[in-house]
């Protein structure tokens, strides 16, 4: 027979006391932009504790250092992008622009970046967010509330309001730009191959002009040179002799942020390879197939690539509640990357990183390296905030140096006075080229691209082509697609 004593003892102690707490709703973290800053925050932030929402006109991340290689076919386009949807449904993702921010009520006004529902044909022009949102089917704007906001919208290409640039020049900031450039390069050679053209007209079509001699312009010129002296030379031998590459810049030298000796090495290498460098030259205007240079007059071209720095994103330009840098018009942030209000006080709920931000006490270069380090600092800070843990350590930028490819398997590496890669100083030539490729390989984010990038590099290896007796077309840069 079972004893009743334990039950009696329990009844004497009285009823059990239960306690409950209200379910805590997740705080919403909204990230604007899917570039080097926004995408890295999306990757690293604790999506189980934060209600993460990404708003970006692109549903992918651009690995910008590889765009020049994609533009000439060294790499395929998928090697330079990472889809943001891999973090869905853990994070909400809207392909949209943020048109305005109400900092007082913490509300964003967003506009879809997708085509309107009535635009069904692939041949229709791409949807422009300037189209009225009140017309039926064009996509109505929608509000989005936030608790914490990360502004990582980047910057636009600087045109200095030069007439005709937006209409007739190509930029190189997105994989779509690389695709358009690749298509135009092949189109120039096919047009020049027509028997009805004179040699003068062919030379005009095969004059490739790059305006802006920073790292992007220099690397594209180098990649284009490699293409002209490899696949183009083999498949269009008579036209390849007519092709010319001209690099223009308003500055007195190319690669202004590099050491003087490295710049001289790059310039000497370019001139030896037949790339013309025109420094201290000013572009007055651009017309269809013609560039008007103050110092030279009219310069015909088949392809014009414009890479002359950065201008503020329209969203940043529209913000009046936050303090801005007088020269760059980017938003000023404190040591914890919080945006500063016009009265100088930090906004604890708004963070700004990447090209859209300027540190109050330090001027950092507008590079992917800076945006990536800021993003890593920020998601660690956010992960501690959501756990109610202190995180008072300020952001510190550790300069790992600057790399630039200069063609023919050569590059330059400029190491800062403090920091940089251990055991390396200012390097040039093949050693710097190996460093350039290994750095970009290690920075690729997905396992897929860590396999694809070296695979395509291997297929385009000149030594491999030399030893192969039969050289099938798939071993070459696929400039035809």
Mean pLDDT of the chain: 87
**Torsion sign (Cα): 203, 205, 206, 211:** positive
Residue 51, both tokens: 């209600």
Q: What pLDDT is attached to residue 423?
A: 57
Q: At 271, which helix (H) or strand (E)?
A: helix 260-272
> Could you tell me the pLDDT band of residue 417, with boundaries at 50, 70 and 90?
low
> Could you tell me the pLDDT band of residue 118, with boundaries at 50, 70 and 90?
low
- Across 116-130, 289-303, 398-412, 430-444, least confident range: 116-130
Q: What pLDDT is attached to residue 274?
A: 94
CA dist 135 to 118, 125, 141, 404, Å? 11, 17, 11, 47
Cβ pair 356, 154 in contact under 8 A: yes
Q: Is the pLDDT of residue 132 over 50?
A: no
Q: pLDDT digit string (tens) for 44-94?
A: 999 999 999 999 999 999 999 999 999 999 999 999 999 999 999 999 999
End-to-end C-alpha distance for the chain, whole angstroms: 86
Tell me the longest C-alpha to C-alpha distance in the chain: 113
Q: What pLDDT is attached to residue 349?
A: 97
Q: pLDDT digit string (tens) for 335-359?
A: 999 999 999 999 999 999 999 999 9
> Could you tell me the pLDDT band of residue 391, with boundaries at 50, 70 and 90?
confident
Residue 389, both tokens: 């843990």
> Could you tell me the pLDDT band of residue 221, with boundaries at 50, 70 and 90?
very high
Strand 50-56 versus strand 92-102 pairing type: parallel
| Euclidean distance between CA atoms 471 and 157, whole angstroms | 40
Q: What pLDDT is attached to residue 222?
A: 97
Q: Is the pLDDT of residue 241 over 80?
A: yes
Q: Which of 74, 75, 77, 64 is nearest to 232 (CA)?
A: 74
> Could you tell me the pLDDT band of residue 140, with boundaries at 50, 70 and 90?
confident
Which residues on neighbouring strands pair with residue 249, listed in sequence order? 279
Q: How large is the average pLDDT for residues 284-289?
A: 97
Cβ pair 59, 95 in contact under 8 A: yes
Residue 266, both tokens: 């790059």
């Amino acid at each position: 027979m079972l004893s009743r004593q334990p039950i009696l003892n329990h009844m004497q102690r009285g009823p059990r006391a239960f306690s409950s707490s209200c379910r805590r709703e997740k705080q919403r973290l909204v990230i604007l932009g899917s570039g080097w800053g926004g995408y890295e925050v999306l990757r690293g932030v604790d999506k189980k504790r934060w209600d993460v929402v990404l708003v970006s006109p692109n549903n992918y991340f651009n690995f910008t250092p590889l765009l020049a290689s994609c533009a000439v076919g060294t790499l395929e386009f998928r090697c330079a992008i990472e889809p943001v949807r891999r973090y869905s449904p853990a994070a909400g993702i809207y392909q949209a622009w943020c048109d305005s921010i109400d900092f007082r009520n913490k509300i964003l006004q967003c506009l879809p970046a997708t085509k309107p529902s009535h635009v069904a044909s692939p041949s229709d022009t791409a949807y422009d967010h300037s189209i009225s949102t009140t017309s039926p089917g064009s996509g109505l704007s929608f509000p989005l509330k936030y608790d914490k906001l990360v502004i990582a919208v980047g910057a636009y290409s600087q045109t200095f309001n030069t007439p005709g640039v937006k209409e007739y020049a190509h930029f190189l900031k997105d994989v779509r730009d690389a695709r358009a450039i690749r298509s135009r390069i092949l189109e120039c050679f096919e047009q020049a191959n027509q028997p009805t053209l004179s040699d003068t007209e062919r030379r005009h079509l095969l004059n490739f002009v790059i305006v802006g001699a920073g790292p992007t312009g220099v690397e594209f010129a180098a990649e284009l040179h490699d293409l002209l002296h490899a696949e183009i030379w083999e498949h269009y031998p008579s036209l390849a002799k007519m092709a010319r590459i001209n690099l223009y810049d308003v500055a007195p030298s190319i690669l202004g942020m590099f050491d003087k000796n490295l710049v001289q090495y790059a310039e000497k290498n370019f001139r030896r390879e037949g790339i013309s460098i025109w420094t201290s030259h000013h572009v007055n205007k651009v017309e269809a197939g013609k560039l008007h240079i103050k110092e030279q007059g009219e310069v015909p071209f088949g392809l014009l690539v414009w890479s002359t720095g950065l201008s503020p994103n329209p969203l940043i330009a529209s913000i009046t509640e936050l303090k801005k840098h007088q020269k760059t018009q980017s938003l000023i942030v404190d040591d914890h990357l919080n945006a500063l209000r016009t009265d100088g006080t930090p906004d604890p709920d708004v963070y700004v990183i990447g090209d859209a931000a300027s540190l109050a006490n330090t001027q950092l270069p507008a590079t992917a390296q800076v945006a990536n380090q800021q993003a890593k600092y920020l998601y660690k800070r956010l992960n501690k905030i959501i756990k109610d843990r202190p995180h008072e350590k300020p952001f510190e930028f550790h300069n790992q140096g600057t790399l630039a490819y200069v063609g023919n398997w050569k590059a330059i590496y400029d190491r800062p006075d403090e920091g940089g890669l251990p055991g390396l100083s200012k390097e040039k030539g093949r050693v710097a080229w190996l460093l350039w490729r290994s750095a970009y390989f290690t920075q690729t984010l997905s396992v897929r691209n860590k396999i694809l990038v070296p695979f395509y590099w291997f297929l385009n290896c000149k030594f491999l082509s030399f030893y192969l007796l039969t050289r099938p077309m798939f071993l070459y840069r696929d400039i035809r697609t």
